Amino acid sequence: MKDKLNEIFEMQAALDNRIITERSINKTTDEWVVGITLAMESEIDEIRREVNWKWWKNPKEIDREALQGEVIDMWHFLLSLSRVVGLTSESIYEVYMEKNAENHARQDGTSLKEGYEVKQEAKKGLSSD
């Protein structure tokens, strides 16, 4: 069975390469990062438009299919950005595992990174009945 993350990475690479070739695009890493993150900001807005965030309006029924489609659009750009910065499906897994462990350490107060020490008051709050 083919690794699913690797498969979508390959599919995104094919799409990116097609767009670059057919549109004769030549950008620096800086330009790619800025362009892709701007596109991601636009996708975030489109995702937000699919849900009821305007408290001053009557709520609408959420169209799950449209919402999921917008999230997948975001995945396309996230995969492209990952490729631009040199991440692969394998390195994403490795870096994610390291960062996830660090994020748990930060919450535990065991991180060596400054600013994540657990305050005594917080410890008391966690242990109180």
Rounded to an integer, what distance in angstroms lies between the CA atom of residue 56 and that of residue 53? 9
pLDDT tens-place string over residues 20-35: 999 999 999 999 999 9
CA angle, corner 48, sides to 70 and 74, nearest 5? 30
Rounded to an integer, what distance in angstroms lies between the CA atom of residue 60 and that of residue 66? 13
- Give me the residue spans of the domains in the chain: 1-87, 89-129
If pLDDT is split at 50, 70 and 90, which confidence band does 8 have? Answer: very high
CA angle, corner 117, sides to 115 and 122, nearest 5? 120
Instruction: Dihedral sign for Cα 88, 100, 46, 42, please.
Output: negative
